[in-house]
Amino acid sequence: MFNIRSLVLSLVASLACLSFSTADNVTYDSNALIINGERRIIFSGSIHYPRSTDAMWPDLIQKAKDGGLDAIETYIFWDRHEPQRRKYDFSGNLDFIKFFQLIQDAGLYVVMRIGPYVCAEWNYGGFPVWLHNMPGIQLRTDNQIYKNEMQTFTTKIVNMCKAANLFASQGGPIIIAQIENEYGNVMTPYGDAGKAYINWCAQMAESLNIGVPWIMCQQSDAPQPMINTCNGFYCDNFTPNNPKSPKMFTENWVGWFKKWGDKDPHRTAEDVAFSVAKFFQFGGVLNNYYMYHGGTNFGRTSGGPFITTSYDYDAPLDEYGNLNQPKWGHLRQLHASIKLGEKILTSSTRSDRNISSSVTLTTFSNPTTGGRFCFLSNTDASNDATIDLQTDGKYFVPAWSVTILDGCNKEVYNTAKVNTQTSVFVKEQNEKENAQLSWVWAPEPMRDTLQGIGKFKANLLLEQKATTVDFSDYLWYMTNVETDQTSSLYNITLHVNTKGHVLHAFVNKRYVGSQWATNGQSFVLEKPISLKSGTNTITLLSATVGLKNYDAFYDTVPTGIDGGPVYLIGSGNATTDLSSNLWSYKVGLNGEMKRLYNPTFSSRGKWRTFDQASIGRRMTWYKTSFKTPSGVDPVVLDLQGMGKGQAWVNGQSIGRFWPSFIAGNDSCSETCDYRGAYNPSKCVENCGNPSQRWYHIPRSFLSSDTNTLILFEEIGGNPEQVSVQTVTIQTICGHANEGSTLELSCQGGHIISEIQFASYGNPGGKCGSFTQGLWNVSNSILLVERACIGMESCSIDVSAKSFGIGDATNLSARLAVQALCSND
């Protein structure tokens, strides 16, 4: 049948296309992304829009641009956008269209990784849990029910982008899109169905006609024309499966994620730069930092089990959006240096010459223009090298570093020579009104559940996420046990097998104990209990702490008591199996249902005066108010002293907290050697302290004056220690070599108020403990003070001339500075 409406629509659509003369044509070959005929190398960085607030986006995007990025990458988070089937949410920090438009306004491109499986240490890998409950469904395989849902969601996202003209082919910023995610890593157990699924993904994606290339990461058998790409710490050895595909590094892990109980990960700026430089040395075309800004897992979005609320990732922009120096600046200089060679790198033949077993000179030369660009790498993890390139010069290449030679004869960058400032942040409490917060508290109403009264019943122990549909972290399992005169009532053990993540047990309304496994996996709770004659009520509260997000069939991994078994073990090991008793169930906490976390509804709670007895209570709500700290510095909540729970500011969740979970104290060391292959246990910090003590309160969550803070405490803590603080840059340090410029900068409107150390000569030590060397220019401090005091930022020429000792450049001379930033 002739369809006049679709004809009109397609006319309108083609007219719309015509009117966008700025449409970008994105193609590629093995050496370049080609945008409107221009051969490009692309630096990109991951910023996940729901891990910050829309108010933070413009600043993050600007800092990414200032850092020398061409593009911003993000996943699309299905579980947030479709929390209930066919009920969508694109509001607030889920408005990815606005995020993309802001990126375009800043003049940057977008790499859109739809997934819609995203992993990302995100709750359930980004899948909505209702998907799991659809009858007959199997996720990430050749299953029609799943494929229909995936196609419906993917098409919706693509259509939203098309409607807003966001694809480069329409004049928009999106230059690349991704379907699926790291499927190749887990594909084998899915067998032939997995292979069929990945082919279907490719065809489905292609059929959406977006006019820009599609990629699949970690998919070595990616069906054409999908471009397979690499994720890891180093990808210089990676080769795409099609010789015509550009070599792309979709996830260069700049640090690592953190779990409750973990130390703080740290990957050095030198090693990240080494990884990137080597990638371009061996023909890389696009490098994406995962993450560029990691941000925060607000609410219950963290994956798991046991991913922390902070997703800082040791990224170039820290959790709060501050420059993480020297990483941000060192990479910025790297980008500028590689871009010097962009034309040559994207249009030349490459030749490698092994100078020794660990030193390689790579030369890109353009036969037409005669232009040359070189990388000189030293992959030895302990020995520096001095390389004589004859007429092209002599170069000192430290161990585990790459030197970039513009024109093959001028060192413009070395990955191990850091010329960027280090910034040291402090957290401080500075509003006198907030010095002593005054609290009230309310017990979580548990009368019903402690009496075994739930909302529905079953003769088995249910799997948790299928039962709660992840509406809450909490599921109550309750049953009754009758004892007659002949049963023994004492010395009984309650024995519960659970798949995790945390379990609290009560018998006859009395708390008998809690337990969890250090890794969030299965464990057995065994507690001595006493029964009474007659009816006894056993109440078990199971809590999840982020649903699993990775591995083959991860989505089917059970949580909660799921089948148990649950036993009562009496004298002589007489065992009563309660697993197929009649169990009563209730999803969530009464306080959650009443929305006690929301100031508008919190009057539904029975708030009581705080006294010493209010400290250390399990299953307790706490409420206070605080004044918004002045200024623009990021605001954090110091939850030292609290146990485990969730925190809300003015009704908005700032995430789960668990500061009582202490990181092990065994593997931190004072020194961190950037040399040698990185792994997440290398250079860790914060041993023996809470895995996460501070929790970000985005300023957009705050009112102009007074705010309500509400905590739910599950295991007991002391709110008297809680404090509202700001994150302020305090000390900045810089270290630069002869011939370079040392740039120093405070952030957030602060100025340089004191030069604590300055030495032009051969100073030693590091930030916080610089020392004078064997020689120095005695008025170094005066010269630096003159250039910097009272300034937000300053730059100093590191040369003999500017330090007044003539023109003779002393190649070994360096300048080290330590300065204080302050408010006035």
Ligand X SMILES: *[C@@H]1O[C@H](CO)[C@@H](O)[C@H](O)[C@H]1NC(C)=O
Query: Contact region for ligand X (CB under 6 A) — 111-119, 421-429, 515-523, 805-813?
Result: 805-813
Active site annotation includes 182: yes
Binding ligand X (rule: CB under 6 A), the pick from 775, 785, 789, 823 is 775
Between 248 and 596, name the residue whose CB sits nearer to ligand X: 248
Cβ atoms within 10 A of the Cβ of 268, count? Answer: 23
**CB of residue 528 vs ligand X: minimum separation in angstroms?**
9
Q: What angle do helix axes 96-105 and 57-66 make, rounded to 10 degrees?
A: 40
In whole angstroms, the minimum distance from the beta carbon of 195 to ligand X comes to 31
Report how far apart, in Å, the C-alpha atoms of 279 and of each of 288, 413, 680, 749 are.
Answer: 11, 15, 20, 37
If the CB atoms of residues 18 and 808 are measured against ligand X, the closer one turns out to be 808
Cβ closest to ligand X, residue 4 vs residue 808? 808
Strand ordering across the sheet containing 401-406: 349-354, 359-365, 372-378, 401-406, 410-414
What is the CB neighbour count within 10 angstroms for residue 382? 10
Total residues in contact with ligand X, by rule CB under 6 A:
24
Q: From CA 148, how far away is CA 144, in angstroms rounded?
A: 6
Q: Is 572 in the site for ligand X (CB under 6 A)?
A: yes
Cis before 225 (ω within 30): yes
3-class SS string, 588-641: CCHHHHCCCCCCCCHHHCCCEECCHHHCCCCCEEEEEEEECCCCCCCEEEECCC
Residue number with CB closer to ligand X (651 or 773): 773
Q: Which is nearer to ligand X, 447 or 786 (CB)?
A: 786
- What is the closest distance, in whole angstroms, from the C-beta atom of residue 812 to ligand X in the complex? 4
580 to 599: interface string for ligand X, x by CB under 6 A: --------------------
Q: How far apart, in Å, do the first and last CA atoms of the chain sit?
A: 75
In the numeric block, which tokens belong to residue 608?
Answer: 């009581």
Instruction: Please say whether the beta carbons of 470 and 549 come within 8 A.
Output: no
Q: Can residue 669 be called a binding residue for ligand X (CB under 6 A)?
A: no
- Choice from 27, 144, 159, 741 touching ligand X (CB under 6 A): 27
DSSP conformation letters of 18-68: HH-TT---EEEETTEEEETTEEE-EEEEEE-GGGS-TTTHHHHHHHHHHTT
- Which is closer to ligand X, CB of 64 or CB of 531? 531
Look at residues 722, 442, 436, 445 and name the one whose alpha carbon lies nearest to residue 609. 442
Q: Which residue in 22, 25, 62, 535 binds ligand X (CB under 6 A)? A: 25
Interaction pattern, residues 546-565, with ligand X; x per rule: CB under 6 A:
--------------------
- State which residue, 169 or 268, has the beta carbon closest to ligand X: 169
The catalytic position among 182, 270, 463, 714 is 182
Of the residues 490, 509, 608, 822, which one makes contact with ligand X according to CB under 6 A: 490
Residue 810 sits in the site that holds ligand X (CB under 6 A): yes
Interface with ligand X (CB under 6 A), residue from 354, 436, 485, 704: 354
| Given 73, 121, 180, 251, the catalytic residue | 251
Return the closest-CA partner of residue 508 out of 480, 487, 476.
480
Residue length, the chain? 824
Choice from 242, 430, 519, 772 touching ligand X (CB under 6 A): 772
Query: Near ligand X by CB under 6 A, which window of 146-154, 380-388, 420-428, 806-814?
Result: 806-814
The residue among 430 and 493 lying less far from ligand X, judged by its C-beta, is 493
Smaller CB separation from ligand X, 438 or 491:
491
Residue 21 touching ligand X (CB under 6 A) = no
Of 743, 755, 751, residue with least CA distance to 783: 755
Closest distance of CB 522 from ligand X, Å: 18
SS3 content of the chain, % helix, strand, coil (to 5): 20, 35, 45
Tell me, yes or no, if 738 is annotated catalytic.
Answer: no
Residue 196 vs 782, nearer CB to ligand X? 782
Element (H, E) at 815: strand 814-822
**Residue 491, interface with ligand X (CB under 6 A)?**
yes
- Please give the Cα distance from 542 to 311 (Å, whole number): 25
573 binds ligand X (CB under 6 A): yes
Rounded to whole angstroms, how far apart are CA atoms 341 and 360? 18
> In 10 A of CB 797, how many CB atoms?
15
Stretch that binds ligand X, among 109-117, 263-271, 286-294, 352-360 (CB under 6 A): 352-360
Give yes or no for residue 396 binding ligand X (CB under 6 A).
Answer: no
Q: Which amino acid is at 365?
A: S
Stretch that binds ligand X, among 70-78, 416-424, 432-440, 804-812 (CB under 6 A): 804-812
- Is residue 808 near ligand X by the rule CB under 6 A? yes
Confirm or reject binding of residue 665 to ligand X (CB under 6 A). yes
Tell whether residue 688 is a contact of ligand X (CB under 6 A): yes
| SS3 sequence of 636-664 | EEECCCCCCEEEEECCEEEEEECCCCECC
Q: Which helix (H) or strand (E) holds 384?
A: none
Q: By C-beta, is 33 or 222 nearer to ligand X?
A: 33
According to the binding rule CB under 6 A, does residue 805 interact with ligand X?
yes
CB of 307 to ligand X, least distance (A): 22
Residues 6+ apart with CB under 8 A from 211: 26, 167, 168, 169, 170
Instruction: Pick the piece of the chain touching ligand X (CB under 6 A) from 201-209, 366-374, 702-710, 773-781.
Output: 773-781
**Could you say which residues in the range 467-486 bind ligand X, by CB under 6 A?**
none
Beta strand 214-217 pairing with 42-47: unpaired
Nearest-approach distance from CB 390 to ligand X, in angstroms: 19
Residues binding ligand X (CB under 6 A)? 25, 27, 34, 352, 354, 360, 490-491, 572-573, 665, 688, 762, 772, 774-776, 778, 780-781, 805, 808, 810, 812
Where in the sequence numbering do the catalytic residues fall? Answer: 182, 251
